[in-house]
Amino acid sequence: MADAADYLLNSSFHFDALLADLYFEKGEDPSRDLYDGLDLIEFSVATRPEMDVYAVSAHADSYNFKRKVIERKIPVKHLFDKRDFAIAGDGSEPTADEPWNVVRLDVYKRRLARDPNLIAELDAHFGTGPEVSSLLGRVLANVSPPIVTYIETLPAPLVAKVPIEVICTPTSDGTVCASAPHLGLLVDGYGDLASEAVEQLREVIAAHATELLGEGEFTGYAAALKSHLRHHIEFSHDAD
């Protein structure tokens, strides 16, 4: 929970939405009065007022929870009841990722709303025709933003001091490109899936860090890259 609060306070990270378990209590942060998921939601509203917040709980119909939300004026956009979706996901009920699917759809709808004429044009040209391709491009540009993830572990003996932001974007040939913009690397990772691209990028980062974070002196691009790498990565003390 303390880590989540740190991420919310870090302006270098972008968040469209927060989904929190109401009674999640791991990593209490007394210094910020964070003891459960409801506290984290309230904290997120204060620090990121533009972000939508969602909650999930097995006690979604709890009068005590509803009273707290009203008293503390916490704008929970949707409360998911854990009892309404199956963990195993046998196809007969919504699966455990159902809450995230709802959140993603909400984010997509907000992005579509940035182009107020798009919905009307989609309705007018529903079906086939020369306009469909251009409309599809506009839809994809609005609702398919790059995937943002983070690399938190590296091959030993390297250790990530802070999470490394990774941007995954689709390429023209259907593959995915993963880049680490804050590191300044000129080499990206590629793969058929975002996970594969991230893994390749992890190897690229590890190779550069192993070469540059030693005792040698560098100039130009290598020196700048070393500076960025040192902010994010170090050698494990166990390797000394």
Q: Is 234 in the same domain as 165? A: yes
> Hey, is 200 helix, strand or coil?
helix
Q: Is 17 in the same domain as 97? A: yes
Is 126 inside a domain boundary?
Answer: no
Query: pTM of the entire structure?
Result: 0.51
Q: What CATH number is associated with residue 60?
A: 3.40.50.2300
| Alpha carbons 57 and 83: distance in angstroms, whole number | 8
Is 107 inside a domain boundary?
Answer: yes
- pLDDT at residue 89 is higher than 50: no
Q: Is 151 in the same domain as 101? A: no
The domain containing residue 43 runs over which residues?
Answer: 2-112
Number of residues in the chain: 240
pLDDT tens-place string over residues 100-153: 777 876 777 777 777 777 667 666 655 545 565 566 566 656 665 678 889 999
Q: Is 155 in the same domain as 92? A: no
| Alpha carbons 65 and 67: distance in angstroms, whole number | 5
Q: Which helix (H) or strand (E) holds 81?
A: strand 76-81
Burial class (CB in 10 A: 0-12, 13-18, 19+), 240: exposed
CA angle 211, 217, 222 (to 5 degrees): 60
pLDDT tens-place string over residues 177-227: 999 988 988 899 999 888 999 999 999 999 999 999 987 888 888 998 999
Token code pair at residue 102: 């709802």
Structure confidence at residue 60 as a pLDDT band (50, 70, 90): low
Neighbours of 88 (CB within 10 A): 9
Stretch 53-69: mean pLDDT, rounded? Answer: 75
Is 123 inside a domain boundary?
Answer: no
3-state helix, strand, coil in the chain (%, to 5): 45, 20, 35
